[in-house]
Structure 1
Amino acid sequence: MELEFTKMHGLGNDFVVLDAIRQAVTLDRDTVRFLADRRFGVGCDQVLLAAPATEPGMDFRYRIYNADGDEVEQCGNGVRCLARFLLDQGLTGKRQLRIQTLAGPTEVFVEDDGRITVDMGPPRLEPADIPFRAAQRATGYALQVQDRSLTIDAISMGNPHAVLQVDDVDTAPVAELGPLIEGHPDFPARANAGFVQVLGRDHVRLRVYERGAGETLACGTGACAAVVAGRIRGLLDEHVRVDLPGGRLAVHWAGEGSPVWMTGPATTVFRGRVRVSRNDDARAQVR
């Protein structure tokens, strides 16, 4: 199987984007893992699939596969890149799109300055909706990780997040605690682990260990979850600058019952063709 692909990134959170509208695409776990491999494949945090919508009122369908091959519900940086891809490829002329995802419909707006704003929908805060094992909703949950007792906020932005407040993201034990939080039994669908440092009521720094991908340079849903957690705790105002290792996102949340809005860039790096064969003899050709 030979596939045309586009390599893109949102603040360094990078993607292999596949057009399943004009070409036949068959993805299984091994193919996704090959495409995501930074030594033998193309290399990315996630593989994104642009496909025809299957629900009324939707413009396109969007599927997301983490580097480990698992399909996931939502990716904020990815949906911005998808919108840029659809426009640049001439698949739409619209600057306002309704995208079908496993997490539900997502509305995307292309701004005049080229940045892209996404309506990420209201956060889900009830434990059963995240999903997170807890007797009842609370502000702050105790999470036992090996010999440590952590206090986290559990939030779903279409995918599950554990948000941990830290004094300094530079020294936060992301590599140590990230995988332990990701696979914690209290998160039956695993979780993205966010480590957030509050600098002011309109400014935070954030690092995220993403479910199925490891630490990434940026995480859009993680940025939204961090702002929601800070707002619930009374630490943040409605408009917040979120600085990630790869750059800055703008996040706005008016409060419970309201959608979270996220604005940031989407960048095309290159296009190419990749050949994937059943005998694992695979190679990438870049143009």
Structure 2
Amino acid sequence: MRVDFIKMHGLGNDFVVLDARLRPLPGAITPRVAAALADRNTGIGCDQLIVLEPPPPERPDADFTMRIYNQDGGEVEACGNATRAVGLLAGGAARIATAGGLLQTRADENGIAVDMGVPRFEWDAIPLAYAMDTLALPVGWDGLEHPAAVNVGNPHVVFFVADCAAVPLAKLGPEIEHDQLFPARINVNVATVVDRSTIRLRVWERGVGETRACGTGACATAVAAMRRGLVDRAVTVRLAGGDLAIDWAEDGRVTMTGPATESFRGTFDWSAFS
């Protein structure tokens, strides 16, 4: 059976979107199926596989559900760039149920704006293996020290460094991601504050590797910098793929704004991946 897909990206962070809202998929998305579809050599190729489904009974306020699978096949809670892409598919305005909570999108002159909700800072909400101050964890890895920890639908640690481009993220990213301190693994951000309104950022995404952009990483990094008093409450986060605007309002909610793009559409043979 052939299945339709949509290839999209947000600042180069790319997705394969399967729309199962009206027509269910022929079978279940298992970690093996997700990883096979995401493989850039033998599959369609993407950083994340996105599956859209009807909203669950417990979320009558949602228009639909978004499930997110990383390149290694693991299902994760949230993805800011994918949310913007799905918001674009929905025509701008949408209420999207995710494992990380309800996300809302709207059209904006600079692309799609996403209400990412209220960030969490409690040690057990990250989660960490044991209690510690999440504003500056008393830990370090080969020169990367005292990160902030934030959960913005999924878990992040943020290191502020003099030059994020100089950090050997390919080496340290997987080491930190799989450290026993992080029972659900962790996304790793290395950031350089340029001025009160600008941050440069690189992100190692758990289950994916370094990506050209990460929406939740941009939100987590901006919020961590704001908590430390390094920047103002509205900043531009510059990633390899482009810029995201992050605003942390006085009511505690974080809004992320940036572009999303549909690349192409196609079909694949389900039996080749199941």
Q: TM-score range by the shorter chain?
A: over 0.9
**Which of 19, 22, 33 is the aligned partner of 2:35?**
33
Conserved 8 A contact 1:153-1:164: yes
| Deviation by residue 1:173-199 (Cα, 9 ceiling, x = unmatched) | 111111111111111000000010100
Structure 1 residue 51 displacement after superposition: 1.1
Q: Give the 3-state SS of the residue equivalent to 2:42 in structure 1.
A: coil
Matches within 5 A, 1:30-109: 30-54=32-56, 55-87=59-91, 95-109=92-106
- Cα distance in 2 for residues equivalent to 1:114 and 1:244: 16
Separation in 2 of the partners of 1:152 and 1:125? 13
Alignment of 1:60-209 (within 5 A): 60-87=64-91, 95-111=92-108, 113=109, 115-145=111-141, 150-209=145-204
Residue type of the partner of 2:106?
Answer: F
Determine if the alignment matches structure 1 residue 262 to structure 2 residue 256. Answer: yes
Quickly say closer, same or farther: Cα 1:114–1:206, change in 2 above 3 A: closer
- Pair 1:184–1:37, CA change in 2 (3 A): same
Aligned length: 270
Structure-2 separation of matches of 1:114 and 1:144: 37
- Would the aligned equivalents of 1:201 and 1:240 in 2 still touch at CA under 8 Å? yes
TM-score by length of 1: 0.90
Structure 2 stretches of 5 or more lacking a match?
A: none
| Maintained 8 Å contact 1:162/1:181 | no
Deviation string 1:66-121 (CA, Å, 9 cap, x unpaired) is 0111110000000010111233xxxxxxx42211111111111112x361000101
What is the identity, as a one-letter code, of the residue corresponding to 1:68?
D
Conserved in 1, the CA contact under 8 Å of 2:124 and 2:131?
Answer: no
Distance in 2 of aligned mates of 1:234 and 1:254:
15
Q: Quote the Cα distance in structure 2 between the aligned partners of 1:49 and 1:7.
A: 12
1:148 Cα deviation (Å)? 5.3
CA positional deviation for 1:138: 4.2
TM-score, normalised relative to structure 2: 0.94
**Once the 2 structures are TM-superposed, how far is the Cα of residue 23 of structure 1 from its aligned partner?**
2.6
Q: Is 2:76–2:99's contact at 8 Å kept on the other side of the alignment?
A: yes
Q: 1:11 aligned to 2:11?
A: yes
- Contact 1:194 1:226 (C-alpha < 8 Å) held by counterparts: yes
Distance 1:211 1:276 in 2: 26
Q: Which residue of 2 aligns with 1:92?
A: none
Which structure 1 residue ranges, 5 or more long, are not aligned? 88-94, 283-287
How far did 1:238 drift?
Answer: 0.9
Partners of 1:242 and 1:35 lie apart in 2 by 30
Distance 1:131 1:18, change over 3 A: same
* The one of 241, 245, 249 aligned to 2:240: 245
Alpha-carbon distance in structure 2 between the residues aligned to 1:275 and 1:96: 32
Q: What CA distance in whole angstroms lies between the structure 1 residues aligned with 2:24 and 2:86? A: 18
**Sequence identity percentage:** 46
Greater CA drift, 132-141 or 14-23? 132-141
Counterpart position of 1:276: 270
